[in-house]
Amino acid sequence: MKRMPLFILLLFAAITGFSQTISFADVELKNYLIHENCIDTNRTDNNGWWNGDIDADVNDDGEIDQQEAERVLNLGIQDFSDAYRIKSVQDLSQFRNLNWLQIIGIDSLYEISNLELDSLRSLWIGTNYSLRRVDISDLWNLTEDFRVEDIDTLDYLNIQNGNRARYFSLFYTQYIREACVDSIAIEYNEVAWRLLSGVPKMEDCYEAASIHPVIPNHQVGLFPNPTTGSFRINTSSKILKIKILNPQGIVIKEWQPLADEMDISSVASGLYHLIFTMEEGVAFGKIWKM
């Protein structure tokens, strides 16, 4: 059989709308998208739960090409049976026209970040029991819904994307180690009482690229507390650095190296948060200035 000339192949590709096949870094994610009804063509749900109509492999060739991905507006990934060991969802950035996304019940998933979905309006992340990092700082158009629910394992949550979703929920999510937020009061307060430290950050958010282990607070004692001007620290651990933050999460003072007594006589009366950096990790504390 004769080979078809190259220019004819190119012409044929142009006429038929040739679309490049997506190369997935996570094969399990690809398998899920090909074999499960994960696309909702008419945005219907069952009391908030996903109701998929078709899979993402529209032409049933065992692959997902760029055109197939770009047709998807509403996508749900749910796997409570652990049939798929999905470890990364970063390939979803290829689905660039997504408006609505659910990622629920994926216990093998460690991180959700770098989605780069400019069209995304709604994101629901829930019941992913190994999830440690969520960063939606690049989802600047997430204005409809944003939920991170029923997750107690987060080391890092960054929701500093310049706006607040109409519906924002951290229902049954707690014990967050570190978080970055915008200067939006309702968002700040919602995150603050779920943090181990109680202090969301509004600046230097990208310092949290690596999360240190958290040391139980009882290993650090502060005396006197409340204080009128200075306090001492009682701990068996070696402290490398201390930061004191105001109620808005702004660092107002830092000690490195440490003094015998930490002087806060110049700050106004109120409750302040402390972050202790130690050889073993980090610890948090609170002190009242009278």
183 assigned to some structural domain: yes
The whole-angstrom separation of Cα 6 and Cα 10 is 6
Look at residue 231 and tell me whether its pLDDT is greater than 80.
yes
Same domain, residue pair 90 and 190: yes
Q: Which of 79, 62, 82, 75 is nearest to 22 (CA)?
A: 62
pTM: 0.68
Q: What is the DSSP letter of 216?
A: P
Of 180, 209, 238, which residue is a domain's last? 209
Q: Provide the domain limits for residue 269.
A: 217-289
- Per the CB < 8 A criterion, the answer to whether 175 and 156 are in contact is no
> What is the reported pLDDT for 248?
62
Same domain, residue pair 31 and 166: yes
Average pLDDT, the chain: 83
Residue-wise pLDDT for 41-85, tens only, equals: 776 655 555 678 899 999 999 999 999 999 999 999 999 888 999
148-155 CB contacts, 8 Å cutoff, 24+ apart: 148/173, 149/124, 149/125, 149/173, 150/126, 151/125, 151/126, 151/127, 153/129, 155/211
Q: Which of 78, 91, 79, 25 is nearest to 50 (CA)?
A: 78
Percent helix, strand, coil in the chain, to 5, is 15, 30, 55
Same domain, residue pair 281 and 171: no
Contacts of 128 (CB under 8 A, 6+ apart): 103, 104, 105, 106, 107, 109, 151
Cis peptide before 216 (omega within 30 of 0): no
The stretch 235-261 carries a mean pLDDT of: 81
Look at residue 11 and tell me whether its pLDDT is greater than 50.
no
27 assigned to some structural domain: yes
58 assigned to some structural domain: yes
With cut-offs at 50, 70 and 90, classify the pLDDT of residue 263: very high
Look at residue 207 and tell me whether its pLDDT is greater than 70.
no
Strands (E), 105-166: 111-112, 122-126, 133-135, 145-149, 156-158
How many domains in the chain? 2
Same domain, residue pair 250 and 160: no
> What is the reported pLDDT for 280?
73
Q: What percent of the chain has pLDDT over 70?
A: 84
Same domain, residue pair 97 and 81: yes
Residue-wise pLDDT for 150-200, tens only, equals: 998 898 999 988 888 999 999 999 889 889 998 788 888 889 888 887 788
Looking at per-residue pLDDT, the higher value among 250 and 103 belongs to 103
Same domain, residue pair 183 and 223: no
Same domain, residue pair 152 and 81: yes
Residue-wise pLDDT for 74-106, tens only, equals: 999 999 888 999 999 999 999 999 999 999 999
> What is the reported pLDDT for 215?
56
